Structure 1
């Protein structure tokens, strides 16, 4: 099926019910539909948007093209939850039908104001020559969940010195003022972040570019996010155009953070350390955070990447969101741990303590979706780890190499291959004597939290349904293992 420009920008209300019904049927026949991750009912999901807490519920919106697994006319789709675990689809939130978002309601964020939830997003438009013109727009959700778009943009022009790549506003409040950072590209095709301020969310003033020491770091910075923890300022963004460097920056596009002093809003100076990738795996992009009533900074990311074909495409859908992660700081590093509410998913529990050498299988350890915590101690083995979703010719490996002190995620034999030109192995350095793998396996994904969130690896995998084995191993030596597994139904 050829995805022409006309098909990609076809509106949902211009589509026959029969086509939507047939697409839904194909999606639901897919063997890789997830059990406990947010995923689209049909079509393509990408960036998480508007992550917020309002009127007793968590609200999470995402970029959505409903008609197929490609990037086309983007809507905002709305899902909500009381506990960050059980999510309810609330339907379309923003439809792209106005002059200021005619070619897509692109990414943005949300904040409560005057008792309502304000959604600030980028309206994407194209002229007859397919030249892009972005607008920054507002939609407002009331107490009843009804969403109304404002009839004109709140920012209609791109500041002088920057290209039309100007998008993804992230808004917050400091004192009596609202602030927004927007991803941008300078005329010399380098990426940056711009700062705006407003007294009321409707009237916005350009304050200038945020000054960092990353003057030449990629050609565009997407999905910026700024927040503060423990008197530190954190700037998250997704730079495009970074070349691979040893084990780093192996994906087509990256997502990471800078930690430094608090952002000087008056001078627009951000004094910071080096850029660090948030996730060391294969499929992670465009994360967004929110501050919740429990005092936590929580992150959700797109479990996917642009410009890559996935095995679910042929079933008419693509991508999901990561599990929510609790963000903290230790030793000038962000730690990411699964939110505690995810314990609600836990079913039958099995605990085993043993010494392993060679390959070791444990009775009743198997499954298609589960949570697993494995702690390796007193290891003299050259390498040790776990094989997940093991089948006759399939396995996904996560391990620690003692000589190099590297964590390795290997999906070479994980099932249906894809994106192989970007490699099938990801690594990162970790200086530790004890290794703890906290793993969530869903039907077509794995998320690995290492040593209580020091590092995280996220990956889509597409094994056969019968590939449900779990094996542990210690090569050229042995290791003590304590492992707990919970089913997730």
Structure 2
């Protein structure tokens, strides 16, 4: 095994390098896969093109950790080297059963004329590092195109195994389908996972099911949603429905609309797992972009592209789904933070390009503005409770923004800041923004403003170091 400092991606100038996010050793990274805590070790797999920064030749990259902070990089766990996965080892999940690690994934195959075939496959390991492929598990379901992928597997309270798959029906509408098993090897098709028909795009990717005492949550990434006001502005979206898992394995959604999980520019294909302490922990891909924007990302010149989000603990309490950085990340905080009390405006020089900013208000501020390194702006407008994040697009050089309404008013924000990646958590994680940004100049200036009014607030700025 090699440590992060030996293998992690670096930019020539270091100004875009990421220090505490998982990045590819080289090449392109996308969806997180196979998340699990197995034999005391956290395993994170990810889609990985080892040879180029384009979406081809996907294998499963592999990193491990004992503390969710320090990551060891390993050789690819699964390679596209069999007839059923020769054009890509696509996304999937992991479970532990009878002391073995089971990886479920989609094998992607392209025919001579480019026709897509997909196979839902299994690989098994006794140590978590060497895997024996078992091949496809069942035939392709009738009534669906070749776009069936991303198996997520879990076991219910009575020992039954369930699998959901992102799918596209032959009428080109999105769906998630359900399978049932007693032994992880033999699977029975059970039809659509969601009990009612939903019109949400032409393909549902990366389904995930989170179970809480108050609600069950179905997370998925539909492609083909039309923009709705300020919502659904990205090329593809990730969001969720709340409801309840039924005894027959299907999902009965509440009468609530599909809600975006992350309001930023780049967040997609998250996957969760439950660790031994009972926490639901999730990673997402910080990278889904329009192709021309992706092609212009500066780190491609250094031979690497994209990153995963930090690990987030997901909870559902008092009717709200929340995402927060796992508590282990607080160990990255260096001692003696900069603490700032009441002031109408403050200008802070960041101690490095890896920082954490905490702001707590005693009362909802009238207005609030945060300028980050002369490139990213975050504004709260008290009059209509809108929170707006804007940046300069590195391809078009134009300003672009995302926003959300903060129904209960702004109470606190937590900002994880890297040289080219930001994760913002609002009101204890009730709303989240993830975004990439690329600043040409070496500015480390942070400007915090509330206009002419002085408000009771506390600002803490930590330098972060792995």
Q: What's 2:460 paired with? A: 484
The partner residue of 2:43 within 45, 51, 59 is 59
CA distance in 2, matches of 1:90, 1:103: 22
CA distance in 1, matches of 2:461, 2:251: 47
Q: Deviations over 1:452-477 (max 9, x none)?
A: 11101111111136211111101253
CA distance in 2, matches of 1:107, 1:144: 17
| Residues 281 and 314 in structure 2, CA contact (< 8 A), matched pair in contact too | yes
CA, structure 1 residues 280+269, in 2 after alignment: closer, same or farther (shift >3 Å)?
A: closer
Number of residue pairs the alignment of both structures matches: 453
Q: TM-score, with normalisation over the residues of structure 1?
A: 0.88
Q: What's 1:203 paired with? A: 186
Aligned residue runs from structure 1 range 186-335, under 5 A: 186-261=169-244, 263-266=245-248, 268-272=250-254, 273-306=256-289, 307=291, 308-309=293-294, 310-335=297-322
Q: What's 2:358 paired with? A: 373
User: Cα offset for 1:425?
Assistant: 0.7
Q: What's 1:456 paired with? A: 432
The partner residue of 2:347 within 361, 367, 374 is 361
Q: What's 1:6 paired with? A: none
Structure 2 residue 380 is the aligned partner of structure 1 residue 400: yes
CA, structure 1 residues 379+103, in 2 after alignment: closer, same or farther (shift >3 Å)?
A: closer
CA, structure 1 residues 98+28, in 2 after alignment: closer, same or farther (shift >3 Å)?
A: farther
CA distance in 2, matches of 1:452, 1:284: 19
| Residues 376 and 391 in structure 2, CA contact (< 8 A), matched pair in contact too | yes
Q: What's 2:395 paired with? A: 418
Q: Which stretch has the larger CA shift, 423-432 or 238-247? A: 423-432
| Residues 44 and 69 in structure 1, CA contact (< 8 A), matched pair in contact too | yes
CA distance in 1, matches of 2:159, 2:320: 30
Q: What's 1:80 paired with? A: 64
User: Cα offset for 1:316?
Assistant: 2.0
Structure 2 residue 118 is the aligned partner of structure 1 residue 154: no
After TM superposition, the runs of 4+ consecutive aligned structure 1 residues lying more than 4 A away are 23-30
Matched residue of 2:331: which SS? helix
| Residues 243 and 251 in structure 2, CA contact (< 8 A), matched pair in contact too | no
Q: Deviations over 1:130-189 (max 9, x none)?
A: 100000011112126222212x3112x321111110000000011222110000011111
Q: Deviations over 1:428-468 (max 9, x none)?
A: 00033443110110111111111111101111111136211
Q: Deviations over 1:84-125 (max 9, x none)?
A: 111111221000010000100000000001211100000000
CA, structure 1 residues 314+365, in 2 after alignment: closer, same or farther (shift >3 Å)?
A: closer
Q: TM-score, with normalisation over the residues of structure 2?
A: 0.92
CA distance in 2, matches of 1:214, 1:276: 17
Root-mean-square deviation over aligned CA pairs: 2.1
Q: Which stretch has the larger CA shift, 328-337 or 316-325? A: 328-337
| Residues 45 and 318 in structure 1, CA contact (< 8 A), matched pair in contact too | yes
Matched residue of 2:328: which SS? helix
CA distance in 1, matches of 2:110, 2:235: 25
